């Protein structure tokens, strides 16, 4: 049963993408089919999550077919407590993203209409790639799925992205493509080096029987880390991210932030930890880069003037926590990494939806021009405040546990790691939490409540009038609509639920981490 479910998990979005593409002449029907595909995949993933036993080793729980005999590459899929939560989060986020497309009318920027149905089809293809990557247990197969999402995502940014700024949009899309491809190609070289040492691409066998040692193993681990660091992203390889996130259409930003970044963090847990020995200096280095990212992102957020860029930078910080957690080589670290990944997917997905909603209403995400949203659209402002609080790690909401666990496991790191270094890293990361609170609170003060009154010079005032196509504040602006409530409700509810009952997620992750990575402390 489980093998059929695993193959179906990858096949379902592809099948519905094909159906929607075939029906593309009838736009409403095709988009409806795509949304249905999202729901079916979600239901399928829930079924899979219920049916599987959370381990990779037991018989009948994985698919294993020889795919390319010449290189001994296997079509090997499996799911456990580490990938399960991410799979569920992915399918849920895609349901909301596809659902929100029903009322989406792309702007005519240049040269004809961008059709919603094509966007929906691309989203389903991306979903198939991401789900495949989460359940792949063969390094080459993981790489293949890792790459599936690239070209579609590039199209999404390039075609449906920010209509007002085609040149920047294209540059953002191309930069995203080049960075990610370079990273993943280097990661592939790393995988192949691992294979010369370990003799297999099967990550489960590597995790149980391979003890990395020697120069080749270090080089391999470094290359894998480098490739994943681009995707995650880890400072200083994050520079593709702010542009890509802020220029993408709303659903593109949601998918990028909530789901695609998780390929990197999941890769660290599943494919980097087993090929890395905690004794190497590489490990504290990776942890340190994560911590630098936390602080850097918080400082960058303090000076952002654009809402989408701000949320994008905040992702860099959150991913820093995830990488720090993974680099502690403890069960608690894996728990923290998975929890923070899932929480970030839900919360940042929600934040990008909200940014999109604000942009739909006011035509801008420029923070200098967005003020007093509490007064104008109180419900939207309220939801935004909730999401921002969750993102800054308020206890009781989902954002708290991942970061708390990351810092705790950094204090209580694996025995082979340098203790003092990690104490310092934990301290700086905790400082980062404070900075994160600072910029989110500043954001809420400025955007929701009404910012400091700035003196307006004559010149600025003129520019304002010319640039202002949508008068802010004066026209009656709709508050949150019914469809939007429906779209956001699952994200809101889960953010609260995971905040109150974190054990739902932590227990299976801990079991899976002990089973997969045997020797963890």
Binding interface with other proteins (CB under 8 A) = 66-71, 73, 111-113, 129, 140, 143-145, 147-148, 150-151, 154-155, 158-159, 174, 177-178, 181-182, 185-186, 188-189, 192-193, 195-196, 216, 219, 223
Question: How far apart (Å, rounded) are the C-alpha atoms in residues 341 and 359?
Answer: 26
Contact between residue 444 and residue 385 where contact means Cβ atoms under 8 Å apart: yes
Of the pair 93, 153, the CB lying nearest other proteins is at 153
Cβ 448 to other proteins shortest distance, Å? 39
Q: State in angstroms the smallest separation of the CB of 64 from other proteins.
A: 15
Q: Is 457 exposed, middle or buried (0-12, 13-18, 19+ CB in 10 A)?
A: exposed
Q: Report, in Å, the least distance between residue 199 CB and other proteins.
A: 12
Please identify, using beta-carbon distances, which residue of 31 and 140 lies nearer to other proteins. Answer: 140
- Measured from the CB of residue 125, what is the shortest distance to other proteins in angstroms? 8
- By beta-carbon proximity to other proteins, the closer residue of 140 and 323 is 140
- Measured from the CB atom, the residue of 109 and 442 that comes closer to other proteins is 109
Q: Nearest to residue 520, comparing CAs of 406, 408, 413?
A: 413
Q: Which is nearer to other proteins, 147 or 511 (CB)?
A: 147
Q: Which is nearer to other proteins, 145 or 271 (CB)?
A: 145
Q: How far is the CB of 158 from other proteins (least distance, A)?
A: 6
Q: What's the per-residue H, E or C state across 200-243?
A: CCEHHHHHHHCCCCCHHHHHHHHHHHHHHHHHCCCCCCCCCHHH
Note whether 10 and 134 are within 8 A (CB): no
Tokens 């899979």 belong to residue: 48
Smallest gap from Cβ 159 to other proteins, in A, equals: 8
* Burial bucket for residue 501 (CB in 10 Å: 0-12, 13-18, 19+): exposed
CA pair distance 140, 326, nearest whole angstrom:
22
Name which of 148 and 258 has its Cβ closer to other proteins: 148
Nearer to other proteins, 156 or 325 (CB): 156
Closest distance to other proteins from the beta carbon of 134 (Å): 16
Which residues fall within 8 angstroms of residue 165, CB to CB, at 6 or more apart? 247
d(C-alpha 216, C-alpha 221), whole Å: 9
Q: Which of 99, 179 has the CB closer to other proteins?
A: 179
**Shortest distance, CB of residue 37 to other proteins, whole angstroms?**
18
Tokens 């590459």 -> residue? 73
> Which residues on neighbouring strands pair with residue 62, listed in sequence order?
78
In the complex, what is the shortest distance from the CB of residue 66 to other proteins, in angstroms, rounded to a whole number? 8
The CB-of-150 to other proteins minimum distance in angstroms stands at: 6
Contacts of 453 (CB under 8 A, 6+ apart): none
CB contact at 8 A, 306 and 362:
no
Q: How far apart are CA 374 and CA 473, in angstroms?
A: 12
Buried b (16+ CB within 10 A) or exposed e, 27-61: eeebbbbbbebbebbbebbeebbeebebbbeeeeb
In the complex with other proteins, the residue whose CB is nearer, 126 or 354, is: 126
């Amino acid at each position: 049963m489980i093998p059929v479910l695993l193959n179906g998990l990858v096949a379902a979005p592809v099948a519905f993408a094909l159906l929607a593409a075939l029906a593309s002449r009838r736009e409403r029907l095709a988009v409806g089919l795509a949304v249905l595909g999202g729901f079916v995949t979600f239901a399928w993933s829930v079924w899979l999550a219920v049916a599987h036993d959370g381990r990779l080793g037991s018989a009948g729980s994985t698919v294993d077919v020889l795919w390319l005999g010449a290189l001994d590459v296997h079509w090997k899929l499996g799911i456990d407590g580490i990938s399960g939560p991410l799979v569920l989060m992915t399918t849920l986020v895609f349901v909301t993203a596809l659902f929100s497309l029903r009322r989406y009318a792309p702007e005519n920027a240049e040269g004809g209409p961008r059709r919603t149905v094509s966007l929906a089809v691309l989203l389903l293809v991306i979903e198939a790639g991401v789900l495949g990557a989460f359940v792949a247990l063969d390094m080459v197969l993981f790489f293949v799925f890792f790459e599936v999402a690239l070209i579609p995502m590039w199209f999404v940014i390039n075609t449906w992205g920010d209509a007002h700024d085609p040149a920047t949009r294209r540059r953002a899309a191309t930069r995203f493509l080049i960075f990610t491809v370079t990273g993943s190609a280097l990661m592939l070289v790393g995988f192949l080096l691992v294979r010369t040492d370990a003799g297999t691409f099967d990550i489960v066998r590597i995790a149980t029987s391979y003890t990395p040692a020697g120069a080749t193993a270090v080089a391999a681990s470094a290359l894998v880390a480098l490739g994943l660091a681009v995707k995650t992203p880890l400072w200083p390889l994050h520079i593709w991210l702010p542009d890509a996130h802020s220029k993408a259409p709303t659903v593109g930003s949601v998918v990028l932030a909530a789901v695609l970044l998780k390929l990197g963090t999941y890769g660290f847990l599943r494919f980097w930890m087993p090929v890395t020995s905690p004794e190497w200096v590489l490990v504290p280095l990776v942890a340190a880069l994560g911590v630098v990212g936390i602080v850097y992102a918080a400082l960058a957020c303090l000076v952002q003037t654009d809402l989408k860029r701000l949320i994008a930078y905040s992702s860099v910080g959150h991913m820093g926590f995830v990488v720090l957690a993974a680099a502690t080589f403890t069960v608690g670290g894996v728990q923290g990494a998975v929890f923070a990944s899932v929480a970030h997917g839900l919360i940042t997905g929600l934040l990008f939806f909200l940014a999109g909603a604000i942009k739909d209403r006011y035509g801008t995400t420029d923070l200098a021009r967005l003020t007093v949203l509490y007064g104008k659209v109180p419900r939207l402002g309220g939801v935004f405040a909730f999401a921002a609080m969750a993102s800054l790690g308020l206890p009781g909401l989902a954002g708290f546990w991942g970061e708390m666990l990351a810092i705790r496991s950094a204090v209580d790191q694996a025995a082979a790691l340098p203790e003092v270094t990690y104490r310092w890293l934990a301290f700086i990361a905790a400082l980062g939490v404070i900075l994160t609170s600072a910029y989110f609170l500043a954001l809420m003060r400025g955007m929701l409540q009404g910012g400091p009154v700035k003196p307006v010079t004559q010149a600025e005032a003129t520019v304002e009038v010319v640039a202002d196509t949508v008068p802010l504040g004066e026209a009656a602006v709709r508050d949150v609509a019914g469809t939007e409530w429906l779209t956001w409700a699952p994200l809101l509810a889960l953010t609260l639920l995971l905040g109150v009952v974190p054990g739902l997620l932590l227990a299976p992750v801990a079991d899976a981490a002990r089973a997969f990575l045997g020797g963890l402390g």
